[in-house]
Structure 1
Amino acid sequence: MDRLTSRGPPGHPHQKVSSCCQLTVRVLEARNLRWADLLSEADPYVTLQLPTAPGIKFKTKTITNCNHPVWDEAFSFLIQSQVKNVLELTVYDEDSVKEDDVCLLFHYDLSEVLPGKLLRKTFSQGQEELDVEFMMETMSDHPETLITNNVLVARELSCLDVHLHSTGDTAEVADQEKLELDLELKGSYEGKQTLTLDTAPLRFHHLAAQETELSTCLRSSKSSGWFSDNSAGHLTVPLKSLAREKEVTIDVPATNVSDLNMQLKAESCSEELAVHLGFDLCAEEQAFLSKRKQVVAKALKHALKLDRDLQEDEVPIVGIAATGGGARAMTSLYGHVLALQKLGLLDCVTYFSGTSGSTWTMAHLYANPEWSQSDLEGPISHTREHLAKSKLKTFSPELLARYHQELEQRREQGHSSTFVDLWALMLEHMLHGQVMDQKLSGQKAALARGQNPLPLYSSLNVKENSQETLDFKEWVEFSPYEVGFLKYGAFVPPEIFGSEFFMGRLMRRIPESRICFLEGIWSNVYSLNLLDVWYNITSSGEAWKQHIKAKIRKLEETPASSGASSRTSSWLEASWLQPGTALANALRGFLTNRPLHHQGSNFLHGLQLHRDYCCQKPFSTWADSQLDSCPRQLTPQEPQLCLVDASYFINTSCLSLFRPGRKLDLILSFDYCLNAPFEALQQTEQYCRAQGLPFPRVEPSLQEQRQPAQCHLFSDPDCPEAPVVLHFPLVNAADGPHSSAELPAGKADLTSINSPYALCNMTYKEEDFDCLLQLSEHNVRSSQDSLLQALRMALGRRTRAPQAQT
């Protein structure tokens, strides 16, 4: 029986009390099993595993020399019906010489197993078949409190405290040898721990509904390492035998040691949910929006010469979307922001999004809480100086030693340390020449009064070693308020991003990283696998573009983008996967492994997918990965995150602007590509349409493609939800009214093979830096009329109030 205790709108987190069910799986028989080797028939057995019942794995007996084995064995799981339960059935061929071979592998969605009704299924793969029976029974005495946003589910946790205690002669033994008790609770967050005599109790966190057992093994410090009696200290304690909130004492059997016991206490877990489950904007961002609208309203009234003050609901939402492009993007973005400031339009912007190289500019600007109201010559001069210097010192022995020392300190704090972290420290020295003690959470000071736009940084989460980037990618958003997945509706404050979590609870707090390590993630160009490299090397530029377009078009053909709600709850039903040979698996791993990948703690760890997760519109909007059809392979099942530069897929940062609740009216698109001024924007449009996100048609004329102007306006009158987009490509456009004052002699070399603005170049001459900076500033300042027109269009989306002409 299920009962709601509190509930918000769809997609918002709510609590639900739901009873568990007992699932009985009877493995009957198999037929026509192939021979696993040439010398004998199969020696088959079957394993059963449920990711939603962690730590529990069952195995049938082995039937020797038989291709038609009959097992008729039953196994029971205690499961939660509100989550997506996918049973894994694997038929092995036992081998005494080498590793057991996988003969058959089936994944079965249990949602079609109804309580009280026996269901018999035959799983087949070619001629090979496996017969299994299922029976489900509701357990009214096992209620569980769930917290869910209808995509992810945080289940109820329990804690188990264990204390090793001794009296009498045991203390004398302890003087001569050290006693250690190895403990294992499968499926718990801690897994295995070691307890010593009379030390503080150890704690295990596990699912409250988990029916598993605590295993112990006693060790001593004697040279033998183990007690001579193999039974010494070996003990198993079923968790269901322990009464809640009561301390239980259990003797630990050990040879030559008396009065040794464990004190166990099982109790409810008091830790509150640290992961925000919901697709709505967090309270801090909503408060910021109210403050920022006051600033924007004042700026718009001045810029558009309005004859009255705007009400809060009349203020349009304007966002900057800056692409990546290394030092070129960083330099150009300074010019674009400087121009907006000089035109008095920077205060009209509410959101500021960037990816890859553009995040270097953003992170530097937001170190000053008053940056948009300050003279930008300071940060620009700082960047000019460090771009012009030689980068050889970055690789000097003394700096390499300092990098190593800081990485060691991070490891001691609990952070994982990878090559990407080393790249981050090198990047920090290239851009700043010193340690910058800044953190993402510290940027909240720049938002306290709504005095600056809200910065949004983008990244992609990919598979570490099983998929090419384009086949599995999930958008991850970073802001000073929270970090999280648009797809799952799961976010954490930046102060605890990188810490360790289990089932949405904070288990181990790790100090927040300096922002340079996040910049290393946002511009992580080292996590390509060989499949990605192969496509890049063997494809022409046009072929690579077509490869990306094919991946986007594939989204339009999948149910995820065309309406996942049309699926029934048993859409997975029975699926089988042909196990590959060892050689095939090794080859696949060689092609998809990321030798220099980022690795960080997964704050989704332990959370489970709701039984109807794939029918939820917020999830299906971002379900652009092939593995979405197999929930057991989605990110909540991964122990680590693998984050890369978002430009691996599309060189855009504007996807965060489409998060529900933001409702952008105007996007200022700053593109830093040298040779294809509309490519990223067209890919963004195609991707948005595949995902059902409103976006205007991007259809430049042939003349515009051959000779792009300083800016291009795109809108869609037939789609009022689509924002207006004002696109600024990086071009040497026609002279404008400010050209003589802003542009040095000659034009920036953007296209030749000797261009100083190549993506991999991190060293600019000062005159090249100034040329690109001034060109970017000029292109925006010369487009003042277009900017004001776009702002009027954005304002018209919110109100029809009379507006004075400029």
Structure 2
Amino acid sequence: MPLVGPGHTSETTAQLQYEQDIYDKQHSETPLDSTDDITTDMENKARISGGNGNDGSDNGKPETPQQQRPGFRERIKNMVKDAFPEAITDVKIMGGMAALESRVAREMQDPKLFPEIERVAHVRRGVELCPEELTFLDRRKVRARDNLARYLGLQPEDVDPRDVPTVAFGGSGGGFRAMIGCLGYCRQMQHAGLWDCLTYVSGVSGSCWSLAAYYTFGHTSFDRVIDHCKQRFSPHHPLSGEAIRTILSSPGGARITLGPLIQKSKSGLQTVAMDLYAVFTTGWIFFQNDPATHPGRNIHGDRVAGYQRSWYRYSTAREYTDSGAEPMPIMTAIRHERPWKDWKDKEHPFDCANHAEGDHKEADEAWFQWYEMSPYEIGCDEVEAWVPTWGFGRPFKEGKSTMQLPEQSLALLLGLCTSAPAGPLTSYISTISRNLPTNFLGNSIHALANRIAKFWGKQGTEEFQEHHPLHACNEHNFMYHYTHVEPGQGRPPGLENSPRIHLIDSGMDNNCPTYVLLHPGRQADIIINMDASSDVQKDTFPERVDQIGSRRGLKFKKRHDIKPGEDPKDPNRFNGLYAQIYDGIPCERPATVVDSYGRNVTNPPAPVHERECKMIYMPLLPNAKAVPDFDPSTAKFSGSYNLVWTAEQIETLVKVCVQNFEDGQDVIKDTMRSAWLWKRDERLGRGTNGPTMPQESALSNVAVQNYAPPIAQVSTGAAQLAGTNGDATGEQMSGSGVEPRWNTAVGATIAPQTTL
């Protein structure tokens, strides 16, 4: 089955072929009697292996109804044949599954394992930051003071914590390329000391995997996570039979992987294909055992490295953030806001919610709402509603949870954030059984997926068999019936009238997490965006940052228009482009914006960021100094949808990321020094004739220009100052007389004249 689909339009022909070859190799042993229909193929295979209750030979006798549809547990037992080499392990897997549902149901009520079940979750309203995040900010500022002084070569006593700039880092989407790229940049930031100066780190899609890994099994070491990826990302695809078999046969593997799905179903939600993708893909990425040891055989669970009593939970990252020791991570997903009249029913906003087919492009006056996920809260500043992270996934009514469930697994959260897999999930699941001899495992994965979907509802089965994984997962809507209504009083249609919400990969709207980092309460001074998108050499970032900036009331203007050299063999052709500065100036929100699909639409609502903000854009460009003749965007193995990377391929990309960061680091230091001086003078109330900053960029060799200390605070009325009427364009901004209130040096490496 070809993998090429609507979601693959950004890939090159070589990348598509490379992924197809991996797919074909891992699913090459296809029995002659296999079909493309999951249910039929599974039923046939079950009968071959004794699934009809006999020895696999029907002797021409018709099956009775009881033989045709035996019970789930009975069928599981009958599908195992001692003649198969892996039958011993298969028996262990399914023996554990037979009691899995009852065990998970029992553990869901254990406060020692899940202490949060003794608390009722409440919806918090407002755009302000939660108290826990405010406490984090205070503690992080104190720590960041010494870190900033060390990074910039200053004396700690010369730096007041109030003057420390709020610096945020954002990682883009782009599959494993983005995940590895984010890890590479962050690793070097950690080694250089910049990571310790950050207040927030956020990600879209693949970068969310990086952050989640760092704050869980990585134990805040990017080196550890990268080493883990080198061992884990090959030779098996996360959804290959061998990968799934390894996970389910490990101590506690079935419970940790499938338990979240059981909990989700018991909460009243239907599982879809994307839920399966989430738990198995993240389960493989995070899997800590060595598959070569065949974990689960004759080893007691609590003596196995990586053994867990429960699934990963995002709120455990508070171990590193409550004290301010680490930046606060923010993962992202989006919800498609669409007129109520288009809703199919009270639970599904679309008749066919297939985002891969682009149905969101056709909706008039529709937009994406950004939902953010921190270890403290999950919510949306546009809706002005938040719930504790440990309470997300529970049913809610009138602002409080009605079922006190354990915290939803991190794997399911990552499924919302990274919902852009390589192809229809059914094409993976249906070929897993064909990848192995006709034994228990080859059938059980089919049976497991199909039985879960059937057991949990007809609609789930339809979505599992027919829809692309981008079909959004079902989640409980914490705003359901939030407003109290008297008996007999009608409830207006809208978000509060839907028990479900559907969240999807935020890369469908914008491939960088700029929106959440511009939350007005966070007062970001500098945002460093690492972009591993496939189009980084097509100069599309100005449009993307302008789209989000317009929503937040900022006009981002690229400071220097440097072009890459035309000679592809010139090792310096990208000089000056590894760290590009964009000045974000407060302006009146324009009435319309150009969205990600090129349409001129009404500017969606959003709280305004009222302070100036600098953007340092760090695209994942080729770097011949690190790896000659390698382009991260077009190399055949670095396509956005390739989920099999060798250790050598990972090291290749990491080397490029490390060198790219080093080539842009002086720009970062110049910008941070300027921000610190600006904030210091703002606090001291100095006039417009402030001091000069005779710093030099070692790369640009251009002296830092004089900077102007801040003028009066600019808010939503900045358009009057700028001479605009709410429809700010680049030309209007450049001629308005409004310039950045603080500046750095030229701020980017000046390429040789021959490359301009």
Change (3 A) 1:304 1:756: same
1:500 counterpart = 2:401: no
Higher relative contact order (CA 8 A, sep 6+): 2
Report how far residue 417 of structure 1 moved.
2.3
1:329 counterpart = 2:190: no
* Secondary structure of the corresponding residue to residue 783 of structure 1: helix
Q: Is the 8 A contact 1:369 1:446 kept in 2?
A: no
Q: Is the 8 A contact 1:332 1:773 kept in 2?
A: yes
1:462 to 315, 322, 336: 336
Q: Distance in 1 between matches of 2:530 and 2:695?
A: 27
Unpaired runs of 5+ residues, structure 1, are 1-270, 530-590, 611-630, 736-742
Q: Is the 8 A contact 1:685 1:697 kept in 2?
A: no
Which string of whole-angstrom CA distances, capped at 9 and with x for unpartnered residues, describes residues 21-63 of structure 1? xxxxxxxxxxxxxxxxxxxxxxxxxxxxxxxxxxxxxxxxxxx
Q: Distance in 2 between matches of 1:497 and 1:420?
A: 18
Q: Is the 8 A contact 2:584 2:615 kept in 1?
A: no
Q: Distance in 1 between matches of 2:368 and 2:423?
A: 13
Q: Distance in 2 between matches of 1:594 and 1:301?
A: 47
Q: CA RMSD in A?
A: 3.3
Q: Distance in 2 between matches of 1:384 and 1:528?
A: 24
1:58 alignment partner in structure 2: none
1:281 counterpart = 2:129: yes
Which string of whole-angstrom CA distances, capped at 9 and with x for unpartnered residues, describes residues 472-509 of structure 1? 42110100010001111100001110111111122112
Which string of whole-angstrom CA distances, capped at 9 and with x for unpartnered residues, describes residues 522-556 of structure 1? 01127999xxxxxxxxxxxxxxxxxxxxxxxxxxx
Report how far residue 787 of structure 1 moved.
1.3
Q: Is the 8 A contact 1:503 1:607 kept in 2?
A: yes
Q: Distance in 1 between matches of 2:266 and 2:120?
A: 26
* Secondary structure of the corresponding residue to residue 697 of structure 1: strand
Q: Distance in 2 between matches of 1:782 and 1:486?
A: 36
Report how far residue 311 of structure 1 moved.
2.5
Q: Which has the larger radius of gyration?
A: 1
Q: Distance in 1 between matches of 2:379 and 2:423?
A: 22
Report how far residue 432 of structure 1 moved.
2.8
1:348 counterpart = 2:197: yes
Which string of whole-angstrom CA distances, capped at 9 and with x for unpartnered residues, describes residues 752-800 of structure 1? 4x52100110111221110101110111122221111111122133123
Which string of whole-angstrom CA distances, capped at 9 and with x for unpartnered residues, describes residues 201-260 of structure 1? xxxxxxxxxxxxxxxxxxxxxxxxxxxxxxxxxxxxxxxxxxxxxxxxxxxxxxxxxxxx
1:726 to 584, 602, 616: 616
Report how far residue 274 of structure 1 moved.
0.7
2:408 alignment partner in structure 1: 513
Change (3 A) 1:273 1:417: closer
1:667 counterpart = 2:504: no
Which letter maps to 1:318?
V
2:648 alignment partner in structure 1: 767
Q: Is the 8 A contact 2:260 2:409 kept in 1?
A: no
How do 1:326-405 and structure 2 match up within 5 A? 326-367=175-216, 371=220, 374=221, 376-391=222-237, 392-393=240-241, 402=254
Which string of whole-angstrom CA distances, capped at 9 and with x for unpartnered residues, describes residues 386-438 of structure 1? 11232233565686894667633542355542222100122124313358732
Change (3 A) 1:705 1:792: farther
* Secondary structure of the corresponding residue to residue 491 of structure 1: strand
Q: Is the 8 A contact 2:422 2:642 kept in 1?
A: no
Report how far residue 448 of structure 1 moved.
2.1
2:582 alignment partner in structure 1: 714
1:598 counterpart = 2:473: yes
2:632 to 743, 746, 750: 750
Change (3 A) 1:673 1:273: closer
* Secondary structure of the corresponding residue to residue 380 of structure 1: helix
Report how far residue 317 of structure 1 moved.
0.3
2:266 to 412, 426, 445: 412
2:382 alignment partner in structure 1: 487
Unpaired runs of 5+ residues, structure 2, are 1-118, 289-306, 338-348, 354-358, 425-465, 486-490, 567-572, 588-609, 685-690, 697-756
* Secondary structure of the corresponding residue to residue 769 of structure 1: helix
Q: Is the 8 A contact 2:314 2:375 kept in 1?
A: yes
Change (3 A) 1:789 1:397: closer
Q: Distance in 2 between matches of 1:756 and 1:415?
A: 37
Q: Is the 8 A contact 1:296 1:348 kept in 2?
A: yes
Report how far residue 705 of structure 1 moved.
9.2
Change (3 A) 1:396 1:494: closer
1:637 alignment partner in structure 2: 497
TM value normalised by structure 2: 0.54
Report how far residue 643 of structure 1 moved.
0.6
Q: Distance in 2 between matches of 1:302 and 1:595?
A: 45
Report how far residue 300 of structure 1 moved.
1.3
TM value normalised by structure 1: 0.51
Q: Is the 8 A contact 2:123 2:386 kept in 1?
A: yes
Q: Is the 8 A contact 1:668 1:728 kept in 2?
A: yes
Q: Is the 8 A contact 1:443 1:480 kept in 2?
A: yes
Q: Distance in 2 between matches of 1:758 and 1:683?
A: 23
Change (3 A) 1:406 1:638: closer
* Secondary structure of the corresponding residue to residue 710 of structure 1: coil
Change (3 A) 1:595 1:333: closer
Q: Is the 8 A contact 1:652 1:680 kept in 2?
A: no
* Secondary structure of the corresponding residue to residue 339 of structure 1: helix
* Secondary structure of the corresponding residue to residue 499 of structure 1: coil
Which string of whole-angstrom CA distances, capped at 9 and with x for unpartnered residues, describes residues 147-182 of structure 1? xxxxxxxxxxxxxxxxxxxxxxxxxxxxxxxxxxxx
Q: Is the 8 A contact 1:527 1:596 kept in 2?
A: no
Which letter maps to 1:460?
I
Q: Is the 8 A contact 2:172 2:531 kept in 1?
A: yes
Q: Is the 8 A contact 1:671 1:677 kept in 2?
A: no
* Secondary structure of the corresponding residue to residue 371 of structure 2: strand
Report how far residue 637 of structure 1 moved.
2.1
Change (3 A) 1:473 1:609: farther
Q: Distance in 1 between matches of 2:179 and 2:321?
A: 22
Which string of whole-angstrom CA distances, capped at 9 and with x for unpartnered residues, describes residues 120-165 of structure 1? xxxxxxxxxxxxxxxxxxxxxxxxxxxxxxxxxxxxxxxxxxxxxx
How do 1:195-234 and structure 2 match up within 5 A? none
Q: Distance in 2 between matches of 1:769 and 1:399?
A: 23
Q: Is the 8 A contact 1:504 1:603 kept in 2?
A: yes
Change (3 A) 1:637 1:491: same
How do 1:533-552 and structure 2 match up within 5 A? none
1:431 alignment partner in structure 2: 285
1:305 counterpart = 2:173: no
Q: Distance in 2 between matches of 1:715 and 1:293?
A: 24
Would you say how many aligned residue pairs link Structure 1 and Structure 2? 443
Q: Is the 8 A contact 1:442 1:480 kept in 2?
A: yes
Which letter maps to 1:427?
T
Q: Is the 8 A contact 2:317 2:375 kept in 1?
A: yes
How do 1:156-175 and structure 2 match up within 5 A? none
1:82 alignment partner in structure 2: none
Q: Distance in 2 between matches of 1:328 and 1:734?
A: 18
Q: Distance in 1 between matches of 2:470 and 2:189?
A: 42
Change (3 A) 1:693 1:634: farther
Q: Is the 8 A contact 2:423 2:469 kept in 1?
A: yes
Q: Percent identity?
A: 23
In proportion to residue count, which structure has more strand? 1
Q: Is the 8 A contact 2:623 2:659 kept in 1?
A: no
Which string of whole-angstrom CA distances, capped at 9 and with x for unpartnered residues, describes residues 671-727 of structure 1? 002333465632333223432422421376362497542221122578792311111
Which string of whole-angstrom CA distances, capped at 9 and with x for unpartnered residues, describes residues 579-612 of structure 1? xxxxxxxxxxxx99998320010000002499xx
